[in-house]
Structure formats: C-alpha cells, structure tokens
Amino acid sequence: MHLHKFPIPNATYKIQKLERPNLQSTAPLVRLELIRVYIPYQRRNEWTSWYGDTDLVNRPASVPWLKLYDAERGVEKLRTPGTTFKISESIGLLLRGREASVLVVDHFNASPFENITEFSAISSQPIFIGDILQAIPKDKFRGFYLVSNLKNETKLEKIEGDFFDRLASGGGSSKNSLCWSSKPIQVNYSHIFEAVSRFGHA
C-alpha cells in the first residue's frame, strides 16, 4: 500500500491518497456511507498549443475533505502567485472500518460512480473492505484515500440538499484570507444511492 501525502490542516482526522488500494484487505466493513465531500482544485492558465493559446486548467490540489472548513484551510496553505482555486462539492463513498476507513471519490464527474451498478455479487459474511474495493471498477479520475483518526461520533455531512462550486479570489501570498463565492452545480447520485442501498447508508 503506497501513500501520497498532501498538506494537512488542523483537522481531527487524517486523509492520505492511496496510490494502490489494498484489494485484499481483510479489515471488516463496519458500514458503507454516502457522504458529502469537498474537493479542492488548483486553477491555472496553461499553454494548449504552439500558437500561444491558453486555457484554464483544473487539477486536484490536495486530498478531498470531509468538512468545508478543512478544505478552505488546506487551500490557504497552497497559495502561490498566479494560481486560483475552487472547491467542488461532490459525493464520496466511505468504507468505514474499525481502525481506518477508505474514501472513494470521482474527480471531474457530475454523475460520480456512474459505472457502479450494484454490489450484489458480494455475498461473504462478514464483508471486508477489500470485497467492496474489488467491486469498484477502475476509472481514470477515481481516487482512493485512507482516512484515519475518524471517530465514530464524528458527524459527516449528508448528501441531501444543493451542491456548490466555491471559487476563490484574492490569491497570491497575501496575509489576508481568500474570499469565496459560490454557484450551484448539479450532482447526480441516484445510481450510486441504489447500488449501496443493501448496506444502508448515512
């Protein structure tokens, strides 16, 4: 299992990117949850042709966060001249374990997990985290993250309600905090909602 570390704000939980998730994990699955996540993206004008054409390119700036406050603090630590940021709300699939959990997130997708139809082939008892990971198809923009120090009593944000993109202004290395504006976005999660219904969800 290979981890890629990102700058971490002062959150009570820790998130690290899994370069290769352990598909053979025998950690028992406590529960499967659909949660709201906050994904920071770095936005920068980049060359797109030899003719001098540029385009605004979005790249994941860090790990996804479980709280908006944590995402905003994480972005503050990544500020550089010429770079702006946005924080996109989306759906995360959280595989809760006793010692640690795995968070699965789709980047750049208004219909996250649309190629996951069901987990009906999983019949073992108990169900292990590795069983769920094996049932999740590979996707170019799908990320896997190890979540540790996540207390059972930690209240995670529900998926009901509107979703937003938050755009930052006031970039650079100023000591002033970034200012954020928001606009509603569409996130379709009906398919993944149905796929995890046999496990229950929160």
Cα 46–80–173 angle (5° rounding)? 145
The whole-angstrom separation of Cα 137 and Cα 140 is: 10
Q: If you search the block for the tokens 């054409």, which residue do you land on?
A: 53
Q: Average of pLDDT values for 158-186? A: 82
The pLDDT assigned to 165 comes to: 94
The pLDDT assigned to 67 comes to: 92
Domain count, the chain: 1
| pLDDT for 1 beyond 50 | no
Share of the chain above pLDDT 90, in %: 33
Strand partners, 44: 57
Provide the token pair at 33: 């949850």
The pLDDT assigned to 47 comes to: 58
Number of H helices, E strands in the chain: 3, 9
The whole-angstrom separation of Cα 162 and Cα 136 is: 26
The pLDDT assigned to 3 comes to: 42
- What single-letter amino acid sits at 169? S
Contact 53, 47 (CB under 8 A): yes
Q: What is the pLDDT of residues 74-111, one digit of tens each?
A: 888 888 777 788 999 999 999 999 889 999 999 989 99
**Domain housing 103:** 3-199
Q: What is the pLDDT of residues 110-150, one digit of tens each?
A: 999 998 877 766 777 888 999 899 889 888 899 999 999 88
Q: In terms of pLDDT, which residue wins out, 77 or 199?
A: 77
Provide the token pair at 152: 């059972």
The whole-angstrom separation of Cα 12 and Cα 30 is: 20
Predicted TM-score (pTM) of the model is 0.84
Other CB atoms within a 10 A radius of the CB of residue 182 amount to 14
The pLDDT assigned to 159 comes to: 92
Q: How many residues does the chain have?
A: 202
| pLDDT for 36 beyond 80 | yes
In 24-178, DSSP assigns E strands to 31-47, 54-60, 84-96, 100-106, 142-148, 163-169
Split at pLDDT 50, 70, 90, the class of 4 is very low
